[in-house]
Structure 1
């Protein structure tokens, strides 16, 4: 192939009428073209520091995480997925995305290719249709209002009473909706997920091909991931709608709970190293399930974002009148601007970006607060450390029904 032909191919990729992205196995962007950079306002070097999720708005992240990412892992492709990118200046860019996975002869994922098409005109056409329908509906309502105004002159007192009753009914409906929302998250989503998990465990007893085993591993990972998402969203809903995270305070040994959490994460991440030093000689009055959840969130965060060549360290001990638990890992320092928002919901900065909804650290901080404790973060060139401190005299137990 001549140099001129090679240059034409490079120009075709860089200046194509659509955006191109190539993702590594962990979702990091490893290649993009100039067209996409021009649309988003980020240089190619800036895009290489991001993951695909970082380009989406919050709603797009949730939709992609719960619908299209599992579909991509199961069938290896998806077509014409409507997403909203966020450009460098914060504006929204509607797009349509097509994706396909590239695997080796053994079926292992090598990378994912994604093509991006602008959908501004299509979205504008859809909005015009919605506006047209809204205008027709508004005209119909205006006619109804004109007719109703003739009757209101003789029924003012009755309608006033109806408005008061309607307001009271809406408040009751809102309270019922809040309870139903939490109940759905707590039960209706957990039950089918438990059935899926049981089915996967039963299938593992069968004789399967290596490809079947890999599919089961993907399904099991999706189940664990969805279970964590449900737990985090449930706790977030309780914190915002249901009166806070409930506690069941018990004064029992805490070390077995933390050892179980470490063991589960070691099994889930066999290639990672976790060094634990758990020295808790006396029972700790706390909600042991919640403290286990806090430790799991911190360890999972460190395993996801830490340097894979260095171990993740976890230590728990009693110091004077407080319980201390810290998790440390080697990684790129967290910028000061990101440190100020680290425990906010749905926040994932440049360094701590990745899969998930950005609720793990927020839920961990809320659990610490519910126990009368505090969760802090320290970042330096040598390590990133999250420290949880809790007084040994806990706050009164608060129960929240599921």
Structure 2
């Protein structure tokens, strides 16, 4: 019988691949040291079993079918199956086996890590596809019918009806508007969390304060009982995405309206400090603990355990992502004098 171990002794001893000779009964009559290094079996243990004793049950039928074709003189090239280790686990092996007379000369490479990497890559591709589908559902399949509902309600509300019906139409329209804002927040979250950051369109803006005034006026209109004071002192140009910064300010002021004292003013300011554009929003009220402050910009976190469940806690997370997209940072401080959210964006990018 041909002996690979005799004719290629050095290769046989040092090869990292599993080398072996199988007889017609399916017994590995010779194996190299790599078998014990990879699978844990000694040469004597391997000789006491047939190859089917090592196979993963799911690989048994197709491996037996291949062995039958090998007995007819066909080689096996890059055939993969799982072999049981002595500790009970399995390793993926890629085989090349060639018939030589009444034996089969085999070599196998451990491809377990390659299999794991391939699964990880497939998982990443599946996640990317799922992300795209998720954003598409939010952006089209949910927002479009919601817009249709809003339009239908507004058209119907123009028709003659009593005060009870008018109140119902107003409630439906308000709910639709809140749902639209919630969908926008979830879309931003999906893009930022799953897509590698929030997209921004950076352009040079000469008067950033105009948009901020409009944002504050809209919130004043929605909350006429709250005093919102402004001090817009920044008079330089800024490279930014105005829509995103308006969104950030809206989130911060809305947060102040929700959590600040109703009998104390909210103060919104912009100014330049140490070559940074600075925006700050301050409100009076209950001091935020250090434990809560440390998690304030994480998604699905709220500033107070007693908060209502009307929001998902995404507003501050999205504000933080907008700041990062502008190479800036946002931070919060809170003490007995009030709670301040401060945005800093470097002006070097605006020169």
TM range (shorter): 0.5 to 0.7
| Residue in structure 1 matched with residue 196 of structure 2 by the alignment | 243
**2-side partners of 1:365 and 1:352: how far apart?**
23
What is the CA distance between 1:352 and its match in structure 2?
Answer: 6.8
What is the CA distance between 1:349 and its match in structure 2?
Answer: 4.3
| Residue in structure 2 matched with residue 308 of structure 1 by the alignment | 262
What is the CA distance between 1:288 and its match in structure 2?
Answer: 0.6
| Residues 252-309 of structure 1 deviation map (CA, whole Å, 9 limit, x = unaligned) | 2312211221122122223322222223323321011110110010011111111122
| Residues 117-153 of structure 1 deviation map (CA, whole Å, 9 limit, x = unaligned) | xxxxxxxxxxxxxxxxxxxxxxxxxxxx968733343
Counterpart check, 1:356 vs 2:267 = no
Between structure 1 and structure 2, the one with the greater Rg is 2
- Point out where structure 2 has 5 or more consecutive residues left out of the alignment: 1-55, 67-77, 82-91, 95-113
**2-side partners of 1:377 and 1:170: how far apart?**
37
TM-score normalized by the length of structure 2: 0.63
Secondary structure, aligned partner of 1:154: helix
1:149–1:326 distance in 2 versus 1, CA, 3 Å: same
Counterpart check, 1:328 vs 2:282 = yes
Secondary structure, aligned partner of 1:177: helix
Alignment map for 1:131-280 (pairs within 5 Å): 149-154=60-65, 157=79, 167=119, 171-252=124-205, 253-280=207-234
Secondary structure, aligned partner of 1:328: strand
Secondary structure, aligned partner of 1:231: helix
- Point out where structure 1 has 5 or more consecutive residues left out of the alignment: 1-144, 396-402
Secondary structure, aligned partner of 2:348: coil
Secondary structure, aligned partner of 1:376: strand
1:273–1:207 distance in 2 versus 1, CA, 3 Å: farther
| Residue in structure 1 matched with residue 343 of structure 2 by the alignment | 388
Asked whether the equivalents of residues 248 and 287 of structure 1 are also in contact (C-alpha less than 8 Å), the reply is yes
What is the CA distance between 1:340 and its match in structure 2?
Answer: 1.3
Aligned residues: 250
What is the CA distance between 1:358 and its match in structure 2?
Answer: 0.9
**1-side partners of 2:124 and 2:276: how far apart?**
43
Asked whether the equivalents of residues 332 and 351 of structure 1 are also in contact (C-alpha less than 8 Å), the reply is no
| Residue in structure 2 matched with residue 54 of structure 1 by the alignment | none
| Residue in structure 2 matched with residue 43 of structure 1 by the alignment | none
**1-side partners of 2:306 and 2:280: how far apart?**
18
**1-side partners of 2:251 and 2:80: how far apart?**
56
Secondary structure, aligned partner of 2:342: strand
| Residues 380-401 of structure 1 deviation map (CA, whole Å, 9 limit, x = unaligned) | 2231111111112349xxxxxx
| Residues 297-332 of structure 1 deviation map (CA, whole Å, 9 limit, x = unaligned) | 001111111112222221122335221111111111
Asked whether the equivalents of residues 333 and 379 of structure 1 are also in contact (C-alpha less than 8 Å), the reply is yes
1:262–1:147 distance in 2 versus 1, CA, 3 Å: closer
What is the CA distance between 1:205 and its match in structure 2?
Answer: 2.6
